[in-house]
Amino acid sequence: MAVEQHDNIQPIFIEDEMKSSYLDFSMSVNLSRAIPDVRDGFKPSQRRILVAMRDLNLTPGRPTRKCAKIVGQTIGDYHPHGDLAVYDTLARMAQPFSMRYPMVFGQGNFGSIDGDPPGAMRYTESRMSRLAIEMMEDIDKNTVDFMPNYDESKDEPTVLPGKFPNLLCNGSLGIGVGMASNLPSHNLSEVVDGIVAVIDHPEITIGELAAHIQGPDFATGAIIYGRNAINEYFHTGRGKIKVRARTTIEVHEQSEKETIVVTEIPYKVNKSSLIEKIADLVREKQILGITDIRDESDRSGMRIAIDVRRDIPGNIVLNHLFKMTPLETTIGVTMLALVDGRPRVLNIKECIQHFIDHRHEVLVRRTTFDLEKAEQRAHIVEGLRVALDNVDRVIEVIRGSHTGEEAMEVLGDEFGLSRAQVEAILDMRLQRLTGLERDKLEEEYEELVARIADYRDILSRLERRMQIIKDEMIDLKERYGDERRTELIDIEGDLSIEDLIADEEMVITISHAGYVKRLPMDTYRSQNRGGKGITGMKTREEDFVEHLFSASTHSYILFFTNRGKCYWLKVWEIPEAGRTARGKAVVNLLQLDQGESIAAFLPIRNFDDEHYILMVTRGGLVKKTVLSAYGNPRRNGIVALNILEGDALIEALLTDGDNDIVIASRNGQAVRFHESDVRTMGRGAQGVRGIRLGEGDRVVGMLASDRDTTLLSVTENGYGKRTDIENYRLTRRHSKGVSNIRTSERNGPVVSIHAVSDEDELMIITTNGLIIRLPVRDLRPIGRNTQGVRLINLGEGDRVIDVSRITPGDEEDDPATSESDESPGKDGEEEE
């Protein structure tokens, strides 16, 4: 088959045609669809929807119309694209969770933050919001240029007058070809303050401008962390903002369980998808400790409740949620907008300046329009005044003329009137000839003269025009300004849960059975002597508060185990519980190996080189390590002491390197030496001999003392004594020491030693679960090599297994910890 030849067809290379066509296409997409105009902040589709609604007279206060009608009007007159795309744009302009300041008032289902789509356009109705009217104000006064629509049947505005600073207040998101725009929304009140500041001080720096505009203010609220990213996009137009959900942790007083409550989520995060993501992570066991997730949101606001297992702190779970779910999100900022028809990345001041320039142009064109109208009307009124001054002659001319045209010529020639003035005279009703109407005409003329003078003054003075723009902005702020929804927190870098927690003093209690909790410092209020006190915690019969101390939420607590390992725990990681709550088991907060148990703990604020950790084992080895060696926390712990087989760590002390150290043995020996006798070693060392033990003997305790301290020793059969430290001569380490207390058949071996003062109290617990609480002041200091006095009466087969020193206020009166009626030394069995 022969191919028909055409002389007007010229062959070209396809790559050239593709390049040219794709360039045309990309420019059309970027300029006509994706990128907003810097002046009014709208893309063409958004602008055309509002113009179509204006054509339909859908102003506030008037009934809403079906969205199908609005979409059809928009497509038919201005925007010949898909109806669903236009409807999606319309619906988004009505969504309060998408637009910081909605431009459309919607009635019906316009979607939700859960990602639910809007109802069909045949069901939903809408009209313009009050702010949309502000965007349209003065559009009929030749304030903006118009262009023919797609079929040249109507004219449409190329931009809206835009009194409302829409680009900065509502932001914009658009993906074009080779470029994308993502401007965050800001608070109207702050933006107005920034505009006023630029008008008053055109040379203002961006840093100074940031004092007026804090940063993004998203429709969904949430919290922004760090100002560096805000400053970056303020200066360069690009940046990345880290946003976190607003959360609180509720503690149930009775069950002691914690619930993480989410009340605000980051912008553009789908709530339903967020909940599904958390549920998936729980099912896949990537996040542990969550027992239930509930969406309790209602018309009063958002509420996502996440129940946490009792033995896991809610803060830990929340930290994992931030890291693994959209509860924490990074929002990229690209302040790209069309400036004179060209895409440009703008900083914050340039955005404001372009808005001011646009409003200035609108003001000039509006004033010029008003001036022309006023001058035209004044010209007409001048003619009417001439006619009223010569009313008889005017009537005579009109009656004597055969045609209207003849009357116009005679009046114009005789009185020097223009054609427009003569036409106004001929159109004037007879009732205007009354005296009252003449007075009104004079008033109107005087008013017109004043307005004309005012308009001319506005056009002649720049400072007057800038003042008008300022006044309009301030009025806008007064009518529509509101409080910020998004909170800003000055924290930079990678965020951790600690960044969210105030650095404040807390009270930490650790019970004898290993339960720990923290409480606010003001829980334990100061009381006068003789006060009744408050209940410190509800304990089981075999448990009591053994340690109570204060520490900052940002401090560490080092836990040392019997196997020589050290674990870290931040104070804020300890669950905050009610005053009477028991707390959580320490072993559930640490990743201990099987067979490990807590032997000692130390609260630490700073890991410096001026302090040391001194440890002792059951076999009498001691080791001193500089505190800074423990400054790199690891969740799985580190080796603090290399324990020999059959040995165990029993005590760890924080020292300043200049203490006297006392080590006591089970068989009643005690050695006192200066801390400097123990050289500083690395963490992996085994230590050196602190006390030389006899066969079958072992260490029961170690303490750091000063000269005013007394040493308390308690034996297995319930006997004990206090002795001044000065009674123990200072020797070298690795010695056998001196006799501390006689371990006769009556006393039994030593169970525990403590450094005590008269203000302390003792808590003694036995194998049968008997607990007695004694004031130390009832034990007067006695000699060193003595048997001591009876502290507790034991039943047959019962024996003391542990003793704890309680400082005043650590534990309040409790049925489980009541004092014995027996006082020490009652039977007078003290030996000389």
User: Is 445 a known active-site residue?
Assistant: no
**Which of 123, 233, 480, 630 does the annotation list as catalytic?**
123
User: Which of 776, 772, 774 is closest to 759 using CA atoms?
Assistant: 776
Helix (H) or strand (E) holding 53: helix 44-55
User: Which of 144, 447, 112, 463 is closest to 298 using CA atoms?
Assistant: 112
Contact in structure between 292 and 307 (CB atoms under 8 Å): yes
Contact in structure between 547 and 509 (CB atoms under 8 Å): yes
As to burial, measured by CB atoms within 10 angstroms (0-12 exposed, 13-18 middle, 19+ buried), residue 612 is buried
User: Which of 662, 663, 777, 764 is closest to 716 using CA atoms?
Assistant: 764
110: phi then psi, degrees, rounded to nearest 5: -110, 30
The DSSP bridge pattern shows strands 223-225 and 487-489 to be: parallel
- 3-state SS of 576-613? ECCCCCCCEEHHHCCCCCCCCCEEEEEEECCCCCCCEE
Tokens of 720: 């004990």
The DSSP bridge pattern shows strands 336-339 and 342-345 to be: antiparallel
Beta strands, E only, 716-776: 719-724, 730-731, 738-739, 750-756, 761-766, 771-775
Tokens of 288: 């542990």
Contact in structure between 534 and 544 (CB atoms under 8 Å): no
The DSSP bridge pattern shows strands 621-626 and 612-617 to be: antiparallel
* CA gap 41, 476 in Å, rounded: 17
Tokens of 213: 């505009």
* CA gap 707, 725 in Å, rounded: 6
> C-alpha angle with apex 644: 642 to 648, nearest 5 degrees?
85
Amino acid letter, residue 548: L
* CA gap 505, 551 in Å, rounded: 5
Question: How many distinct helices (H) and strands (E) make up the chain?
Answer: 17, 41
At what angle are helices 462-480 and 188-200 packed, to 10 degrees? 170
CA 512, 515, 519, 525: dihedral to nearest 10 degrees?
-20
Residues recognised as catalytic: 123
